[in-house]
Structure 1
Amino acid sequence: MRTTRASDTRSDSDDRRTLIDKVAFDKTATASDEILRLFGRFIGAGYVCYLILLAPAIAEATAMSASWWTPLAVVATFGSGLALGASTFHADTRWVKRAASANALLYVVVILLWWPAWNGEHVTDFTLWISNFPGVASLAAAAAWRPAAAVVHLFVAATLAQLTNHIIRTSPTTHLLVPDLAFAWTFCAVFVAAAVMALRTGRVLDATIATTHAAAAGAAAAEAKSVERERFDALIHDTVMSTLLAASRNDADPSVIAQARRTVERLDELRSGTDHETSFDFDGILAQLRSAASEVDENITFETALSVGSDPSGYAPDSIRAMAGAMAEALRNSVKHAGSSARRSVTVTATTTHLEVVVADDGVGFDPSSVETHRLGITVSIRGRMRQLDGGSATIRSSPGRGTSVTLTLSLPAAVMT
């Protein structure tokens, strides 16, 4: 029998779409952002190194161009490169891409401006300082633009750099232009390709993480719904069915009447959506234990005792369910081994801080010390269950021909509470 709510009618696909949207909205600390920051800092550090190494060449080139070009070129290339490195410390990585885009464009602009600034002087074996690092500017392009645009920038920047060097030189080196271009393209392409692949890997990793998180969240939501449905089913089974079964045997038992009243209240809470199971009162405890006992032996004698003035309502549901499981295992052992004529009973005694369940039979009994180690019913299902509960314990008393008694105890406040 299954009980459902209106909220369960929403499709799983809608839940998954919502979860993916939530994951996609979270843009903090993504892998692609971290890789982008690392490349930005690498490029910034590269410009610092080139500035230091090329300082003499920069000073030498001032004699071959207009006075405005060198300061402009230094500020535009190295300044934008340093700005790129600094932008990686900003929380918004869009600034990194803006700075990288500016650096890539300014590099090309500065080389183009060399032609109107050049005074026409030719020098033997001369290399214009800005032609030493077209690959660094193309790395910036790879960080800011799509791969195709970065590749176009690489070919344009490297070609302009090599053409400038060959035209300025006095020696006829035209025959070396093609090899120089091929080397420059290949050398720069290695770094640009590595940057493109690293950034792409970051994006793939982000997408994989987002999908994984959405799938995990979807699974968690489905599991939560399943648990909720199981709780509703358990409410029907553990309270309604056990109450009806108990009432059919003894309708004058005050505990059964109280249990029936509590069952109706729980069903009303379920219908109104205000059901929040955080603890069991005494009626809830009895319903849980009666249900577990009835599954094993429908003819079990069930006795209860509540101390005057006690309020055993602080027991966590998980603790009561574990205790009910241990009790059911004790009953199953009795059904299997006590003998066909054995009579069984369950006695529940409760105070505000102490709960005791005694499962007894008058069967053939046994010697607890003679139980083989591979028999896990007592060790795991009874004692093990109770040991896992704070304040829980299990005591087994039996001897051949004298029946068996299993006492389960749960004490508060050491027990798990809500």
Structure 2
Amino acid sequence: MEFRKLLCPGDLGGGENTLRLTRMFARFISVGYLAYLAILLPSINMLAPRMDSWWTPVTVALVFGSGLLPGALSFRSDPTPMRVTSGVAAALFLVAAASWPLAWNGPDIGDDDGVWLAFFPGVASIAAVIVWPTVYVFGHLVIGCVAVQVINFVARGETDVGLLAPEIMFAIMFCTLFVGGGVMAMRTGRLLDSTTETTYAAAAVAAAGHARTVERERFDALIHDSVLSTFLIASRGQPKEVVGAMATTALAELDNIRAEAVPDQQFSATEAINHLRAASVEADDTAMFRVLQERDHKTADIPADVIRTMGSALSEALRNSRLHAGPNTTRTVDANLTETGLGVVVADDGAGFDPASVAPHRLGIAVSIVGRLSNLPGGSAHVDTRPGSGTRVYLGWEAR
């Protein structure tokens, strides 16, 4: 465990985006090691006679063998071995560079030649990107570039130390382009994972809040639409049949709450009509409420949110009529139940109006009626009116 932490001091976790990038980098690293092995074989063979006999086969096996492992292990579901071997590959490159002076025997190589380790320090540093913190990665880059350039300097038998510094700086700057890109890519992956996690957490909080709001609105609607409306109708001397039907519906809904009924309950045709009637009476107890139902067809149960939305829009239409249609206006509400839907027409014979003349800040029709139904799946609404000809508001819903 301690050895693993030494080779892999970074976080072994990571989200989906970070893991996807890590696998991509692991395969890129392994392809890079394989390509450099093929390209550098002549250089490896040229240097081998100048080294102790053990050094070349052991170093080639360790450096390139460890470099091929991350890509091979990237196809496993568990990313830990892939990340650990990436750390091993990065560490073994520095070990190989550190062991070179112990095995060097000479003679010097030509000025145009170089020790094969000096050709790919950046690839080893990219392997470190997968598992090490950024400061360790660039530390590895600097140490690796300095080490291999010093090795080249010694192997060529050069004596002008002034030439060494430019070689080191060029190697560091060249490798930094690729290593820096790798660091930024991994950072982007971690940032995206963090943002995704934060978004999911915020969405969960919002969903929980919305659920609480929906549940609260459900209870508010029950008290308002069923209980209080039943009392209101009873106090205004409505027929016993109407009051009794509404009271029965209110008691049934209270029983559903006691039985922990779900918010997306279904309303029967009778319950739907009672709810709409209650909404009509509450908004205008003088409006005539009529029900049109096809006798040959049975209306399927209707979602509660549809009925509540229709009831709210119906009430708003009646309130608007009371405010703007003028005195001595007759208002009617016609509810039409079909096999697959529901239609409501709120009509008056009042003054009417020009829809184009409605001020933008007057949102009663646009938001409370048309907008409310438009946001309901399967819902629709439109207003038919003109000055002097009354107003008809059409509310509709069709099951999908």
Same topology, TM > 0.5 = yes
Give the letter aligned to residue 22 of structure 2. L
Aligned to 1:110: 96
Report the alpha carbon displacement of residue 356 of structure 1 after superposing the two structures with TM. 5.5
> Are residues 166 and 371 of structure 1, via their aligned partners in 2, closer, same or farther at CA, if it must alter by over 3 Å?
closer
Aligned to 2:188: 201
> Are residues 397 and 311 of structure 1, via their aligned partners in 2, closer, same or farther at CA, if it must alter by over 3 Å?
farther
> Are residues 356 and 156 of structure 1, via their aligned partners in 2, closer, same or farther at CA, if it must alter by over 3 Å?
closer
Report the alpha carbon displacement of residue 137 of structure 1 after superposing the two structures with TM. 1.2
CA distance in 2, matches of 1:305, 1:195: 70
CA distance in 2, matches of 1:178, 1:378: 78
Q: Deviations over 1:28-77 (max 9, x none)?
A: 622x2233233323322322332232221111112112333222222222
Aligned residues: 382
CA distance in 2, matches of 1:194, 1:396: 63
Report the alpha carbon displacement of residue 377 of structure 1 after superposing the two structures with TM. 7.9
Report the alpha carbon displacement of residue 244 of structure 1 after superposing the two structures with TM. 1.0
Matched, 1:172 2:159: yes
Report the alpha carbon displacement of residue 280 of structure 1 after superposing the two structures with TM. 1.2
Q: Retained in 1: the 8 A contact 2:340–2:399?
A: no
Q: Retained in 1: the 8 A contact 2:355–2:385?
A: no
Matched, 1:315 2:298: no
CA RMSD of aligned residues (A): 3.7
Q: Retained in 2: the 8 A contact 1:386–1:393?
A: yes
CA distance in 1, matches of 2:343, 2:23: 63
Aligned with 1:77 (options 27, 47, 63): 63
Alignment of 1:293-372 (within 5 A): 293-303=280-290, 312-332=299-319, 334-336=321-323, 338-348=325-335, 350=337, 355=342, 357=344, 359=346, 361=348, 363=349, 371=354
Give the letter aligned to residue 104 of structure 1. A
> Are residues 63 and 236 of structure 1, via their aligned partners in 2, closer, same or farther at CA, if it must alter by over 3 Å?
same
Aligned with 1:282 (options 269, 279, 283): 269
CA distance in 2, matches of 1:365, 1:163: 97
Aligned to 2:16: 29
Aligned to 1:213: 200
Q: Retained in 2: the 8 A contact 1:354–1:409?
A: no
Aligned to 1:248: 235
Structure 2: unaligned runs, 5 residues or longer: 1-12
Alignment of 1:389-408 (within 5 A): 390=378, 406=392
Report the alpha carbon displacement of residue 214 of structure 1 after superposing the two structures with TM. 1.3
Structure 1: unaligned runs, 5 residues or longer: 1-25
Structure 1-normalised TM-score?
0.76
Matched, 1:123 2:109: yes
Report the alpha carbon displacement of residue 146 of structure 1 after superposing the two structures with TM. 1.7
Q: Deviations over 1:242-265 (max 9, x none)?
A: 111112233652232122122122
User: How many percent identity over aligned positions?
Assistant: 38
Aligned to 2:249: 262
Give the letter aligned to residue 78 of structure 1. F
Return 83-92 or 208-217, whichever deviates more.
83-92
> Are residues 302 and 124 of structure 1, via their aligned partners in 2, closer, same or farther at CA, if it must alter by over 3 Å?
closer
Secondary structure in structure 2 of the residue aligned to 1:121: coil
Q: Retained in 1: the 8 A contact 2:30–2:69?
A: yes
Matched, 1:65 2:51: yes
CA distance in 2, matches of 1:342, 1:416: 34
> Are residues 96 and 383 of structure 1, via their aligned partners in 2, closer, same or farther at CA, if it must alter by over 3 Å?
closer
CA distance in 2, matches of 1:211, 1:60: 56
> Are residues 271 and 206 of structure 1, via their aligned partners in 2, closer, same or farther at CA, if it must alter by over 3 Å?
same
CA distance in 2, matches of 1:175, 1:378: 84
Q: Retained in 1: the 8 A contact 2:341–2:399?
A: no
Aligned with 1:182 (options 156, 162, 169): 169
Return 204-213 or 111-120, whichever deviates more.
111-120
Report the alpha carbon displacement of residue 233 of structure 1 after superposing the two structures with TM. 0.7
Secondary structure in structure 2 of the residue aligned to 1:67: coil
Aligned to 1:13: none
Report the alpha carbon displacement of residue 129 of structure 1 after superposing the two structures with TM. 1.1
CA distance in 2, matches of 1:320, 1:340: 30
Report the alpha carbon displacement of residue 371 of structure 1 after superposing the two structures with TM. 4.7
